[in-house]
Structure 1
């Protein structure tokens, strides 16, 4: 069920999924329908919560519900899932209806928060010590400023339930035949691309029908600029520009690699799963992709599958979390918050890891040594230690997903220059954030 820029196995926040057109449901941070004061004590009253999600993102959450109900025997969680496209078209309407769920998967925060449809979770973050449990950059993607568009600061509106990471997959067999090991610097990476091309091996597998070339630009950009500075633009911080040293380097590299034939000539007509299929069949030394495709790659390449953080001056990764919010209409905000807190438990984390996510509790990540899963965990540890996780550029505006797709396709086809690519992306950003 691959579509658009991001693989639905994570169903993470894609800007194309920012929802519009629903009637306002109040103001951001509005009080819940219940008169409950924030508390960790759920009492003994029988409570029923409703939770909505998608089959992909909800896979680990659904498995966690039984463990939560065992921990809180007076609470029942009724789970409902809707296919990815329909969910993202209807979630704001659901939250604004008379039958609003108590807990909802949140793929985007902007209009949901602006319309007052979900609760400010800061009181519960304090009660449950979420700011101590989770690295700052893993929560900041779900913080929204007073203007309703700037992310990274302000109240917290969703809690994480497992994380994604985008990095560099490589074919160990091909690498060994070429006499190379996994690169750690960008210069080394480009040298290895050239080595592969000279040997008649496709250097870099890529499918860009849904704009996944933007993964390359962002990976190069943030590993050059550094996660902290780079995240300002993705979060909509006033005065930010896409025309940075790193993004220019990324755009120029992408155009250059296409011109040299280092990526498939038909990349604009192939989606991500098509590229993954080609990679696991042995076509390509490298592939930039996320952990949601790790199982498929491990199954296809076996011991030949490897993964490292994208090589650059700074250890970074594109990534975000599956995240859940509490409806402003809930009558049981304390019980809903207890469920969100339980998503960081050992039981929930084990479920997250089994489904391919990086778990909230790192002790749940216990892969077999020498496997692709072990590489993913090792990379995640380095990224977390460096505070290097950056949200997807595609979240920067309601239309950024479409803009990145169209402009990267023009860049690959030689119909746009790096300058034109950078300008097109910034123009889209300005439509949403220019007045910040």
Structure 2
């Protein structure tokens, strides 16, 4: 059942952009003080959905309170957020996207509750590494990395390379460890009439590949400039130019299908599941789906070669609206989701836990996934996502890349357009 429901089940993760707004005084004097109203958009069979379901059971047993859970789609939350959070209908806790243009924007508008006192009370800062805390804290301008805590992540996410082991073996392709080897693998498939990359330009996958390619020519200072506005971004620099020109080059060579301009993320993911494409560069949120749905071949994953920087971050967060009526219950629920036994459920069902005991992770593919994430995290390699800097850049980036692979604009024209849109959005944020 995917509609509204009241039951012992929760959720919390994965979407990249819920934008709610509105504000009112919080407190627990209004409404039922023994009911926690919770929203999320996770599938019941996803790693997080499974973990939150168990967390709700534990919460109800330990507190005697009831959870009123409503499953919302990302688009439902994004399109109605400002009205809902500015009303008495705001939930006590919900899953929300992290980043300057999302949680940061809400925090700067006074729509989310500061969690500083709860962080100290429960010791959440001791459970989350500094890099994972970046997207939980926002300053008065809504810029991540400093200031108060406005959310608590309890899983991680990152982009990696998923591959069809059977197709690799049948075509004599080894797992690449360098960019030249990766491009040679793409060419091998193309020479045999196989489009190697499952892609979508209508939604996020191609934008993340573009960013990943740029990261092969970037460093941490570049990421800080792009994401945190430390210095102006040169939209004709080596990193951005390489990313844009390589996407065009790979399309011309047949590594990316030109009709991917009309594909959504679901189209690309299901095509990989069906064995149409041997490679899918996308997020760890697909892991659980692949584990369940891929039954006709063996598959695995590896980190994108040629760089230690990877699109990724702490996952979506639990946030407590300023208008929440039962904030203390919400804090208790957050704490339960960070317990080792709940975190282990995430890890053994295809997710990336942030506070699990490694010995509790027994699934081999989950071990591979978590090892990849730990490699990135240990190298301070989480570089966030390309659309984060401004509230409108997700749609603008997708539109620009659609024109790029359609051939209606040159790489230089796309970069000029994106650079102007990026800077306009950043100026609106920081003045």
Same fold (TM over 0.5): yes
Checking the alignment, whether the CA contact within 8 Å between 1:64 and 1:351 is kept in structure 2 is no
Q: What residue in structure 2 maps to residue 346 of structure 1?
A: 340
The answer to whether structure 1 residue 116 and structure 2 residue 100 are counterparts is no
Gaps of 5+ in 1: 1-7, 27-31, 36-45
Mapped to 2, the partners of 1:341 and 1:9 lie a distance apart of: 13
Correspondence list, 1:267-416, <5 A: 267-298=260-291, 299-300=293-294, 304-353=298-347, 356-363=350-357, 366-369=361-364, 371=365, 373-416=366-409
Correspondence list, 1:243-282, <5 A: 243-282=236-275
TM-score w.r.t. the length of structure 2 is 0.84
Mapped to 1, the partners of 2:325 and 2:230 lie a distance apart of: 35
Selected match of 1:13 from 12, 16, 24? 16
**1:152-198 deviations in Å (ceiling 9; x for gaps):** 22222111132222111112122223333222222221122122222
TM-superposed deviation, 1:227 = 4.8
Mapped to 2, the partners of 1:301 and 1:390 lie a distance apart of: 33
Selected match of 1:221 from 211, 214, 217? 214
Q: What residue in structure 2 maps to residue 170 of structure 1?
A: 163
Counterparts in 2 of 1:214 and 1:352: CA distance versus 1, 3 Å: same
Selected match of 2:71 from 70, 81, 87? 81
Counterparts in 2 of 1:24 and 1:103: CA distance versus 1, 3 Å: closer
Checking the alignment, whether the CA contact within 8 Å between 1:55 and 1:84 is kept in structure 2 is no
Mapped to 1, the partners of 2:376 and 2:296 lie a distance apart of: 24
Q: What residue in structure 1 maps to residue 134 of structure 2?
A: 140
TM-superposed deviation, 1:359 = 1.5
TM-superposed deviation, 1:403 = 0.4
TM-score w.r.t. the length of structure 1 is 0.83
TM-superposed deviation, 1:341 = 2.1
Counterparts in 2 of 1:232 and 1:178: CA distance versus 1, 3 Å: same
**1:121-177 deviations in Å (ceiling 9; x for gaps):** 2222233332221122222123222223x2222222111132222111112122223
TM-superposed deviation, 1:390 = 2.5
Mapped to 2, the partners of 1:409 and 1:393 lie a distance apart of: 15
Secondary structure of 1:140's partner? helix
Mapped to 1, the partners of 2:234 and 2:104 lie a distance apart of: 20
Mapped to 2, the partners of 1:416 and 1:169 lie a distance apart of: 30
Mapped to 1, the partners of 2:239 and 2:328 lie a distance apart of: 44
**1:269-320 deviations in Å (ceiling 9; x for gaps):** 2222222232233332321112222244343255521111111232524344
Q: What residue in structure 2 maps to residue 5 of structure 1?
A: none
Checking the alignment, whether the CA contact within 8 Å between 1:160 and 1:343 is kept in structure 2 is no
Checking the alignment, whether the CA contact within 8 Å between 1:227 and 1:389 is kept in structure 2 is no
Checking the alignment, whether the CA contact within 8 Å between 1:168 and 1:309 is kept in structure 2 is yes
Selected match of 1:69 from 60, 63, 67? 60
Checking the alignment, whether the CA contact within 8 Å between 2:388 and 2:394 is kept in structure 1 is yes
Mapped to 2, the partners of 1:379 and 1:196 lie a distance apart of: 25
Counterparts in 2 of 1:396 and 1:384: CA distance versus 1, 3 Å: same
Q: For structure 1, which segment, 138-147 or 326-335, has the greater mean C-alpha deviation from structure 2 after superposition? A: 326-335
**1:206-239 deviations in Å (ceiling 9; x for gaps):** 1223252111111122243135631442344453
The answer to whether structure 1 residue 199 and structure 2 residue 186 are counterparts is no
Secondary structure of 1:170's partner? strand
Correspondence list, 1:16-55, <5 A: 17-19=18-20, 23-25=22-24, 32-33=26-27, 47-55=34-42
Mapped to 2, the partners of 1:193 and 1:375 lie a distance apart of: 23
Checking the alignment, whether the CA contact within 8 Å between 1:316 and 1:386 is kept in structure 2 is no
Checking the alignment, whether the CA contact within 8 Å between 1:201 and 1:284 is kept in structure 2 is yes
Secondary structure of 2:59's partner? helix
Mapped to 2, the partners of 1:215 and 1:428 lie a distance apart of: 18
